[in-house]
Amino acid sequence: MLSLIKLPRVFTINQVPKVFHEDSIMSGYRHPCSSATDCILSLFQLTNETLNIWTHFLPTWYFLWKLLTVVLMQAAWQDSFTWPLVVFLLSCCVYPLASSCAHTFSIMSVRARHICFFFDYGALSFYSLGSAITYSAYVFPDKWVNSIFHQCYIPMAVLNTVICTTLACYSRFPECQSPRFGKVLRIFAFAFPYLFDNIPLFYRVFLCVGEGCTDNDTSVLHYHHINLAFLTGFLFATHLPERLAPGSFDYIGHSHQLFHVCGILGTHFQMNAIEQDMVTRRQWLLTHSLPITMANTLGAGLLCVVLNLGIIVLFSLPLLSSPVSRERKATKASACN
């Protein structure tokens, strides 16, 4: 069937505007003014974005299955102790789906590229908060439970999502003039909430000794998640291996594909660790930990979504309302012929 459909043409780096360039990726670019239909058709041909899309689109359905399992089979709405897990699994569905959509449709125009990735960044911020909500409920070491830091943890995590989304969205604007600054700003935007969210976990598995350190079999899964998270950040920051051999990894094996795979595997181990902590520590946490309420679970998640959507709208409005500049007209004329 696909043999009867004319698939879109692919281009080299010299044939597309600079804003669409990827570091050390020399070929496999899609048309910089593709239609929505062309974007969807490109999913079924090999481009430098094909595996970026599928490595996040397919896991979305796995996490959706896990979410439905919790909601339907574990009667989540009748058991408030599972609410943090529901928020986390929902964020695990949203962030790979937003990423796959961003990579699919970001080639429609310069404006679409920015807005698509604004939503991608907002989804990652939501995932960060989902992680924090489950860590607060299930992962905090015994000796930190009910501490002042524990009580402030969720509000601070919500604030971090605002900072993360704002900095990440802003980082796209200076990117063409100063790519390094934009990249560093974006790395900081996502590293900061990750490091904050994991303070209780890092303390529990690396620093805490003696009574109250919650040393159990879950630590192995947490180690896997932490190692993959740092590998994910390393790949995103270094653009390895393609930087060592530009053009050799354009279609298969470049850093963004590996970044996606490591990120999903890390999320999988994180989910397993959270579920195991939730089961093994349930009785102790119900007795000693902060009460799990609608406000510090679903309410915090909803607030994060509303705030992030507001930030995305604020950054998108200038792109949607500003007149087309001469530079953009020239770009369009050269790219869309």
Rounded average pLDDT over 312-316: 97
Pairing of strands 29-30, 10-11: antiparallel
- Most trustworthy range by pLDDT among 7-16, 96-105, 167-176: 96-105
For a pLDDT cut of 90, what percent of the chain falls above it? 82
Q: Do 235 and 253 meet the contact criterion of CB atoms below 8 Å apart?
A: no
Has residue 214 got a pLDDT over 90? no
Peptide bond into 291 cis (omega under 30): no
Q: Could you give the angle at the alpha carbon of 66 between the alpha carbons of 63 and 67, nearest 5°? A: 90
Distance (Å, whole) CA 99 – CA 116: 8
Q: How confident is the model at residue 1 (pLDDT cuts 50, 70, 90)?
A: very low
Q: Could you give the angle at the alpha carbon of 222 between the alpha carbons of 217 and 226, nearest 5°? A: 155
Q: What are the domain boundaries of the chain?
A: 50-104+111-326
Distances 163 to 181, 250, 286, 297 between C-alpha atoms, Å = 17, 33, 32, 20
Torsion of CA 247, 252, 254, 260, to 10 degrees: 160
Q: Model confidence over 77-116: pLDDT tens digits?
A: 788 999 999 999 999 999 999 999 999 999 999 999 999 9
Instruction: Identify the CATH assignment for 50-104+111-326 out of 3.10.20, 1.20.1070, 1.20.1300, 1.10.287.
Output: 1.20.1070
What tokens were used for 20? Answer: 């669409």
What tokens were used for 208? Answer: 């805490």
Q: Could you give the angle at the alpha carbon of 95 between the alpha carbons of 237 and 189, nearest 5°? A: 40
Q: Do 33 and 109 meet the contact criterion of CB atoms below 8 Å apart?
A: yes
Has residue 267 got a pLDDT over 50? yes
